[in-house]
A = this chain, B = another copy of it.
Amino acid sequence: MAKPLILSSFLAVLLLSLSPLSLESAPGRRLGSSKRAPCFFGKFSHPHTNKLSNPRNPKYRYDTRYFDQRLDHFSFADLPNFPQRYLINTEHWVGPARMGPIFFTAATRGILSGSPTTPASFGKSRLALVPWSSSPKLSIMSLKHRYYGESMPYGSRDEAYRNATTLAHLTTEQALADFAVLITNLKRNLSAETCPVVLFGGSYGGMLAAWMRLKYPQIAIGALASSAPVLQFEDIVPPETFYDIVSNDFRVRNALTFFFSLTTFHRESTSCFNTIKESWDIVEAEGQKKNGLVELTKTFGLCRVIELNDRKLERSEDLSDWLDSAYSYLAMANYPYPTEFLMPLPGNPIKEVCRKIDSCPDGTSVLDRVFEGVSVYYNYTGEVDCFELDDDPHGMDGWNWQACSEMVMPMSSTRDSSMFPEYNFSYSLFEEGCWNDYRVKSRPTWITTEFGGHGFKAALKIFGSNIIFSNGLLDPWSGGSVLGNISKSIIALVTEKGAHHIDLRAATVNDPDWVVEQRAAEVKVIEGWIKDYYQEKKAVFDM
């Protein structure tokens, strides 16, 4: 019988490091005023000089393995298996005899993709720094989500993404079954059937973690679902939620107001908010003028294209989407310290954006102000020569498919409550767009049928256990997540000043107290799950 873990000393380090899906795979959202399709975070966000610059930890060791995975778990259709990539570290694991815990996470884009960031992303957990000698040891593993990175069916990305038929099995339920099959097999191979598994995930990965705990309670004893918008479907939350939160983040407070309470924020300066709010009509009007698209191209420093008469823009909506994307990402990445994940950003980046917008000399035009502002996002290092509006290297990304097929998250915006243009989400337009793009028929009510919709929280009151929904209220996705305790063991940990799954980010010396406290609370809860599991096992053994 293994003794209970004393996790607090090292779980904190792990928690903040397993940032599996991270920002780049935030769930889909409506784009700007004209686009109908949600897109994963970042599609419109890459300046062409963007460089990935994750810290490395070459000392951290892990095994890269491939699992022969079934493409369709829920039918017996004769389809080819695919190699699913996963990383595993059992170096410090206490092993099955002492029921050493296994911490599991899933990755979609970026991480584990085989790029130079792979070891860094995994290694960021800095497990080598953990005082292992004083604690039972963990095994950690990270699985690459099907159709992402090297977990590619049909032999190659080109084949897997060829059409709706080959993409057909890129679904959440199949992904969860992948986890179940891999974990079950791995535990069997390690004779570790009794070892407790804990799931971690942020953003879409957080949704997977929560749903995995609900659908496969026998596989994992609990889940930390950070910034997981499991309620951002149909009309469970108002469709304006996301853009309203983004907008509120731009009703910016000065340094002093950081010491005030949340209710104080909304009485702060709204000049930044108002400038952005004014800009959309101006962009649209400018685009309709003679030479307007050329002028916009110049004003916003877009890369010029000779064939288009020295302009980049084909229509002003593309610029609006580019701006929208920046604001939404800034709201997600509105961290209190400098970050460098997809984009190098200063700490409290929205404050910096608004400082730029508000501090322009009198007489500066709205568009020049806005350009100054978004440059904080697109060009904080000052290294960008010109901006590409869309440099998605694949053209057809996995998340876009998922958002079009089953992960349909309706999003609108109003002029009343947001700084964005009026936009009313239309299912018919959405579905038409998805049909045109992918030849797929959207199933907007499927996710709520499979995982729960309006009755989700009520059902969980008497069902399920051991889930933490963690959120920061600055994160625009928080509005679609669970912000209150559901039961004794399905709980919400909310920070007022947190952005998108900050708790899963790597720890820094700049972490404010509220992040440290949030993680400590998570550690305590997870420690409790594991202790309870051991006690339960003991009871079973004693029987």
Contact = CB atoms under 8 A, between A and B. Distances in A.
Given A74-B72, A76-B405, A177-B450, A463 B464 contact: yes
A274 interface: no
Interface in A393-451: 405-406, 440-441, 443, 445-446, 448-451
A281 to B, nearest CB: 39
A466 interface: yes
A92 interface: no
Given A180-B450, A193-B454, A450-B177, A459 B218 contact: yes
Interface string A450-486: 1111111011111111100000000000000000000
B537 A458 contact: yes
A225 B184 CA distance: 26
A75 B169 contact: yes
A171 B443 CA distance: 21
Nearest to A456: B218
A75 B456 contact: no
A49 interface: no
A102 to B, nearest CB: 14
Q: Is the interface of A mostly helix, strand, loop or mixed?
A: loop
Interface string A164-179: 1101110101100100
Interface in A77-129: 77-78
Contacts of A164: 76, 78
A340 B524 CA distance: 60
Nearest to A461: B536
Contacts of A536: 458, 461-462
A217 interface: yes
B449 A180 contact: yes
Contacts of A181: 449
Contacts of A456: 218
A430 to B, nearest CB: 16
Contacts of A405: 76
B217 A215 contact: no
A383 interface: no
Contact of A173 (B74, B194, B448, B463): B74
Contact of A462 (B169, B406, B466): B466
Contacts of A61: none
A235 to B, nearest CB: 12
A540 interface: yes
Q: State the number of copies, please.
A: 2
A505 to B, nearest CB: 30
B76 A168 contact: yes
A459 B217 contact: yes
Interface in A255-314: none
A511 interface: no
A73 interface: yes
B78 A165 contact: yes
A77 B168 contact: yes
B76 A440 contact: yes
A532 interface: yes
Most interface-central of A73, A174, A215, A406 (chain B CB within 10 A): A73
Contact of A463 (B440, B446, B453, B465): B465
B74 A171 contact: yes
Given A462-B466, A465-B462, A540-B458, A73 B446 contact: yes
A448 B193 CA distance: 13
Nearest to A445: B184
Interface in A137-183: 164-165, 167-169, 171, 173-174, 177, 180-181
A456 B219 CA distance: 9
A448 B169 CA distance: 22
Nearest to A453: B218
A74 B174 contact: yes
Contacts of A466: 462-463
A75 B168 contact: yes
A449 B184 contact: yes
Contacts of A76: 164, 167-169, 171, 405-406, 440-441, 443
Interface in A175-230: 177, 180-181, 184, 193-194, 214-219, 221
Nearest to A167: B76
Contacts of A73: 74, 173, 446, 450
Contacts of A489: 462
A206 to B, nearest CB: 19
27 contacts: A73-B173, A73-B450, A74-B74, A74-B75, A74-B171, A74-B174, A76-B164, A76-B405, A76-B441, A77-B169, A180-B450, A184-B448, A214-B217, A216-B450, A217-B452, A217-B460, A217-B464, A218-B453, A218-B456, A218-B459, A218-B460, A219-B449, A221-B462, A462-B489, A463-B463, A463-B465, A464-B464
Q: Shortest 5 CB-CB distances between A and B: which pairs? A: A218-B452, A218-B459, A217-B463, A74-B74, A77-B168
Given A75-B75, A75-B169, A76-B164, 8 more contacts: A76-B168, A77-B77, A177-B449, A180-B450, A181-B449, A193-B455, A214-B217, A462-B465
